[in-house]
Structures are given as structure tokens and as C-alpha cells.
């Protein structure tokens, strides 16, 4: 029986030990082609800066090639970290993408830096002082550009024409905290919660639905729950493959940035350090197709999610491809059989 929710992909463009950032970016396009064929609903690319582990520093640059290489997927940012940018520039960029790929472009935005504080400062154009914490104002300005609703007396109203009109992207708000859910409800945006960062957001999603104000962007609340998952032929093999990301994130928490290590290297590290599966405090969905399906269904029920978005990092690109294939088969997605 097919699931009552959609399945989608969040890609962080992982860089494996022994490979390059260029390899990772080409792997992203390859994975997008595969998941398009398999019947996943949307494909979002993340934004992270200053790390040797992830090549996803510029989702707006990667969205175009992915959309060109696919035909059915909605493609978008997961997300654009708006505090780094001019809202007008973001609106222009995603308007242009929407003009090229009508009806397929999503613009999900967040307020996290996607980096450490030094890298965030390096991203600033004006470095005389730290950028202000004015995300609600930035979001309102961005939505006004996209919706053509800047007041006539706004200082920028004269330059508000966007290059991809009449097409426009579908905006979403990302988050992993109560405040993000409050903002999404107030402005009437669909909401994507990063369970793989902060598990246990069901109450945040429930409050979002309860407080939601209908808007031109969405007549009713919509929730994506983004989860961490690795699927393999057996539970044991999935646990084994997950060792690579566990080692990488364990070192990240110690301030060491590394590429995604091979499985055997990671298994030795985890054993020597005595790090078990629950050490990170994050939810990991690992196992065979039936195990993963049950766990994803539980997350969807927990959040009342309309969609579950899956992020997977493995050392071998083939293992990541296989994980998405097995999940597609487990849920009988309407792609190739």
C-alpha cells in the first residue's frame, strides 16, 4: 500500500575521503536523475559553507543544472540562508530559475548561518560590523518582491520587476525551533522542520498548524519533516554504512572538519572512542526497507507531515543511490519498477 504522504530528497552534496568537491557535485546531479526516475516528489539542495565535508555552498548555482537534468522533480533550496543575502538578489535569482523551469522551483529559506561564525563573517559584503539580526524583515521584503506587493511608497518599489515573471518560485520556511514555526504560521508559508537536526518537533509542527494564517502562498498549513536515513538490504548493513557519517559528525562536534571517511576507518574510530549509535542525540533511521518504512511512517504520523524529506550521507555514492532505490521500492513510488 502506498503511503499517504510524499517522499522527497534533501541533498547536502557530501564529499567522500579520496574524492573531490567536483565529484560530489556531479554525484548530486546523478542522484537527482535517479530519484526523478524513481518517483520522488522534490529535490532540495542545502547550503553549508567552509567545510571539506559538504560541497553545497551555493544551492542557487546547483538548482539549475539539477532542474535541467530532470523532468518531474520540483527542485529547490533547502535552503537559502537569508541573513547572508540581499532579499532582492534572492528574489531575482529564484525568479530567473522559475522562468527557466516553470512550476518546478522551490525557494526554502532559513535564518541559520550554515557555517561557523568566522565563515559567516567572511560571507558578509560589509565587514565593518556584524550583520543585524533582522530575519523577519528580510523575509517580509523577499515575499513582497515575489508577490509584487511592495507598497508604492517603499524606497525599492520602482525596481521590483523580476526577470522570470510571470513565473515565480514557491516559498517555504525552514526551521528547527519554535520561533521558525511561529513565523511560518504568521506569514502563511509551508513549513519544513529539520528533524535530523532537532528531533522531537511534533509540538512545534502542531502549533504551526493551529496558528496558521492562510496566504497567497498557501491556503492551508503544509509540513515537511526532514529525516536522516540510510537503507540497505539488511539492518546490519545499514548500521555499518552509517558509521561514516557518525564519525564525521563526532569529529565536527570536536571542531575537526573532515571528508566523509570510509566505512572501515569509521568503524575502527567509533570502536576506539566508544561512541554508540545514540551518542549524537539525533534521530537516525537505519535498516532494511521494511524497517525504514516503518520508521518513516512513524515520523510522518508524529508530525502530521504531508511529506517526508530524506537526507542520506554515505562514503560510497553507490550506497547512497541504493538507499534511495530501496526506500522507493518500500513505498511503491510511482517511478520505474
Q: What pLDDT score does 161 carry? A: 83
Q: What pLDDT score does 130 carry? A: 72
Residue 83's Cβ-count burial label (10 Å; 0-12, 13-18, 19+) is buried
- % the chain with pLDDT above 70: 94
Q: What pLDDT score does 336 carry? A: 59
Q: Which fold has domain 6-330?
A: TIM Barrel (3.20.20)
- Return the higher-pLDDT residue of 272 and 124: 272
Per-residue pLDDT band for 1 (boundaries 50, 70, 90) equals: very low
Closest CA to 46 of 97, 95, 109, 96: 109
- Return the higher-pLDDT residue of 164 and 276: 164
Per-residue pLDDT band for 337 (boundaries 50, 70, 90) equals: very low
Alpha helices in the chain (DSSP H): 21-38, 59-69, 87-100, 117-123, 135-147, 178-187, 202-211, 235-241, 243-253, 263-273, 289-303, 317-330
Residues 251-296: tens digit of each pLDDT = 988 889 999 999 999 999 999 998 876 555 678 899 999 999 999 9
pLDDT of 118 higher than 80: no
The stretch 63-90 carries a mean pLDDT of 96
The stretch 74-91 carries a mean pLDDT of 94
Q: What pLDDT score does 128 carry? A: 72
Q: Which three cell numbers stand for residue 79?
A: 535552503
Residue entry with cell 532494511 = 288
The stretch 54-83 carries a mean pLDDT of 96
The stretch 120-129 carries a mean pLDDT of 72
Q: What is the pTM of this model?
A: 0.94
- % the chain with pLDDT above 90: 80
Q: What pLDDT score does 114 carry? A: 55
The stretch 227-242 carries a mean pLDDT of 97
With beta carbons less than 8 A apart as the criterion, state whether 173 and 224 touch: no
Q: What pLDDT score does 129 carry? A: 75
Closest CA to 109 of 189, 206, 222: 189
Per-residue pLDDT band for 98 (boundaries 50, 70, 90) equals: very high
Q: What is the mean pLDDT of the chain?
A: 93
The stretch 242-251 carries a mean pLDDT of 94
Angstrom distance (rounded) from CA 312 to CA 230 = 6
Residues 196-223: tens digit of each pLDDT = 999 989 999 999 999 999 999 999 999 9
Per-residue pLDDT band for 106 (boundaries 50, 70, 90) equals: very high
Residues 31-49: tens digit of each pLDDT = 999 999 999 999 999 999 9
Closest CA to 225 of 189, 258, 201, 206: 201
Domain extent listing, the chain:
6-330
Beta bridge partners of 193: 175, 225
Q: What pLDDT score does 125 carry? A: 72
Amino acid at each position: 500500500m502506498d503511503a499517504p504522504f510524499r517522499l522527497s530528497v534533501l541533498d547536502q552534496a557530501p564529499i567522500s575521503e579520496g574524492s573531490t568537491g567536483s565529484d560530489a557535485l556531479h554525484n548530486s546531479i546523478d542522484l537527482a536523475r535517479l530519484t526523478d526516475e524513481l518517483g520522488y516528489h522534490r529535490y532540495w539542495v542545502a547550503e553549508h559553507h567552509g567545510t571539506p565535508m559538504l560541497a553545497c555552498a551555493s544551492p542557487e548555482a546547483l538548482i539549475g543544472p539539477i532542474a535541467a537534468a530532470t523532468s518531474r522533480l520540483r527542485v529547490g533550496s533547502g535552503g537559502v540562508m537569508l541573513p547572508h543575502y540581499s532579499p532582492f538578489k534572492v528574489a531575482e535569482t529564484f525568479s530567473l530559475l522559475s522562468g527557466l523551469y516553470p512550476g518546478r522551483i522551490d525557494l526554502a529559506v532559513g535564518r541559520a548561518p550554515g557555517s561557523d561564525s568566522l565563515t559567516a563573517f567572511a560571507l558578509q559584503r560589509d565587514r565593518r560590523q556584524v550583520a543585524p539580526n533582522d530575519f523577519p524583515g528580510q523575509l517580509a521584503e523577499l515575499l513582497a518582491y515575489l508577490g509584487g506587493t511592495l507598497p508604492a511608497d517603499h524606497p525599492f518599489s520602482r525596481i521590483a520587476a523580476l526577470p522570470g515573471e510571470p513565473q515565480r518560485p514557491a516559498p517555504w520556511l525552514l526551521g528547527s525551533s519554535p520561533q521558525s514555526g511561529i513565523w511560518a504560521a504568521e506569514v502563511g508559508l509551508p513549513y519544513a522542520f529539520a528533524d535530523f537536526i532537532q528531533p522531537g518537533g511534533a509540538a512545534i509542527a502542531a502549533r504551526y498548524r493551529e496558528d496558521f494564517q492562510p496566504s497567497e502562498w498557501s491556503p492551508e498549513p503544509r509540513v515537511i519533516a526532514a529525516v536522516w536515513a540510510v537503507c540497505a538490504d539488511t539492518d546490519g548493513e545499514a548500521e555499518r554504512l552509517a558509521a561514516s557519517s557518525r564519525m564525521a559528525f563526532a569529529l565536527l562536534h570536536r571542531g575537526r572538519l573532515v571528508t566523509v571517511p570510509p566505512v572501515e576507518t569509521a568503524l575502527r574510530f567509533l570502536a576506539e572512542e566508544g561512541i554508540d549509535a545514540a551518542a549524537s542525540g539525533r534521530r537516525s533511521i537505519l535498516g532494511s526497507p521494511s524497517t525504514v518504512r516503518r520508521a518513516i511512517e512513524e515520523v510522518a504520523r508524529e508530525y502530521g507531515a504531508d511529506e517526508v524529506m530524506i537526507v542520506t550521507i554515505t562514503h560510497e555514492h553507490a550506497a547512497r543511490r541504493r538507499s534511495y532505490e530501496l526506500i522507493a521500492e518500500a513505498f511503491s513510488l510511482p517511478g520505474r519498477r
